[in-house]
Structure 1
Amino acid sequence: MTEQSAPYYVPRGGLPGQKELTTERAVFTEAYAVLPRRTMTDIVTSFLPFWEGMRMWIIARPLSGFAETFSQYIVEVSPGGGSDRPELDPDAEGVLFVTTGRLDLTIDDQQHTLEAGGYAYLPPGQRWTLRNTGDEVAGFHWVRKAYMRVEGVDVPEAFVTNEKDVEPIPMPDTDGAWVTTRFVDTADMRHDMHVNIVTFQPGGAIPFPETHVMEHGLYVLEGKAVYLLNSDWVEVQEGDFMWLRAFCPQACYAGGPGPFRYLLYKDVNRHAPLRGYLH
Structure 2
Amino acid sequence: MSYLNQVTGYRKDILTNRSVVKHGNFALIEPDGIVKNVIPGFENCELTILASPKLGASFVDYLLTVNEGGCNHLGFGEDGVETFLYVFEGDLKVWNEEKEQVITDGGYIFCPENRKLYFENNGDRKVKAFLYKRHYDRIEGFEAHTVIGNINDVEWVHYEGMDDVLVKDFLPSATDIGFDMNFHILSFKPGACHGYIETHVQEHGAYIYSGQGMYNLDNEWIPVKKGDYLFMGAYSLQAAYGIGRNDEFAYIYSKDCNRDAKL
Q: TM-score, normalised by structure 2?
A: 0.92
- How many angstroms apart in 1 are the aligned matches of 2:170 and 2:92? 19
Helix, strand or coil at the partner of 2:75: coil
Which residue of 6, 11, 14 maps to 1:21? 14
- How many angstroms apart in 2 are the aligned matches of 1:237 and 1:208? 21
Task: State whether residues 207 and 252 of structure 1, in contact with CA within 8 Å, keep that contact through their aligned partners in structure 2.
Answer: no
- Matched letter for residue 217 of structure 1: G
* Structure 1 outlier segments of 4+, above 3 Å: none
Helix, strand or coil at the partner of 2:85: strand
Kindly provide the CA deviation profile for residues 19-39 of structure 1, in whole angstroms up to 9, marking residues without a partner as x.
233111110124211101223
1:70 aligns with 2:59: yes
Instruction: Tell me the CA shift for residue 12 of structure 1.
Output: 5.6
- How many angstroms apart in 2 are the aligned matches of 1:245 and 1:109? 33
- How many angstroms apart in 2 are the aligned matches of 1:67 and 1:121? 23
Task: State whether residues 77 and 116 of structure 2, in contact with CA within 8 Å, keep that contact through their aligned partners in structure 1.
Answer: no
Kindly provide the CA deviation profile for residues 30-80 of structure 1, in whole angstroms up to 9, marking residues without a partner as x.
42111012233xxx11122122101211001112xx333110011111111
Change (3 A) 1:260 1:115: same
Task: State whether residues 60 and 71 of structure 1, in contact with CA within 8 Å, keep that contact through their aligned partners in structure 2.
Answer: yes
Return 79-88 or 258-267, whichever deviates more.
Answer: 79-88
- Aligned position for 1:169: 157
- How many angstroms apart in 2 are the aligned matches of 1:234 and 1:128? 35
Task: State whether residues 77 and 117 of structure 2, in contact with CA within 8 Å, keep that contact through their aligned partners in structure 1.
Answer: no
Change (3 A) 1:239 1:134: same
Q: Which runs of 5+ in 2 are unaligned?
A: none
Task: State whether residues 101 and 139 of structure 1, in contact with CA within 8 Å, keep that contact through their aligned partners in structure 2.
Answer: yes
Helix, strand or coil at the partner of 2:152: helix
Task: State whether residues 77 and 115 of structure 2, in contact with CA within 8 Å, keep that contact through their aligned partners in structure 1.
Answer: no
- Aligned position for 1:227: 215
Task: State whether residues 169 and 182 of structure 1, in contact with CA within 8 Å, keep that contact through their aligned partners in structure 2.
Answer: no
Kindly provide the CA deviation profile for residues 124-182 of structure 1, in whole angstroms up to 9, marking residues without a partner as x.
111442000011221211111100111111x211111111101121123312x111101
Q: Which runs of 5+ in 1 are unaligned?
A: 1-10, 275-279
Return 16-25 or 84-93, whichever deviates more.
Answer: 16-25
Instruction: Tell me the CA shift for residue 85 of structure 1.
Output: 1.7
Which residue of 30, 38, 57 maps to 1:47? 38
Kindly provide the CA deviation profile for residues 189-225 of structure 1, in whole angstroms up to 9, marking residues without a partner as x.
1111111111111121013210011111111010000
1:259 aligns with 2:248: yes
- Aligned position for 1:35: 29
Helix, strand or coil at the partner of 1:39: coil
Task: State whether residues 201 and 256 of structure 1, in contact with CA within 8 Å, keep that contact through their aligned partners in structure 2.
Answer: no
Q: In angstroms, what is the RMSD of aligned CA positions?
A: 1.7
- Aligned position for 1:202: 190
Q: How does 1:1-279 map to 2 (within 5 A)?
A: 13-16=5-8, 17-30=10-23, 31-40=25-34, 44-63=35-54, 66-108=55-97, 110-153=99-142, 155-175=143-163, 177-185=164-172, 186-257=174-245, 258-274=247-263
Change (3 A) 1:217 1:159: same
State percent identity of aligned pairs. 28
Specify which structure has the bigger relative contact order, considering alpha-carbon pairs within 8 angstroms and separated by 6 or more residues. Answer: 1
Return 13-22 or 23-32, whichever deviates more.
Answer: 13-22
Helix, strand or coil at the partner of 1:208: coil
Helix, strand or coil at the partner of 2:32: helix
- How many angstroms apart in 2 are the aligned matches of 1:223 and 1:254? 8
Helix, strand or coil at the partner of 2:243: coil
Instruction: Tell me the CA shift for residue 110 of structure 1.
Output: 4.1
Return 11-20 or 203-212, whichever deviates more.
Answer: 11-20
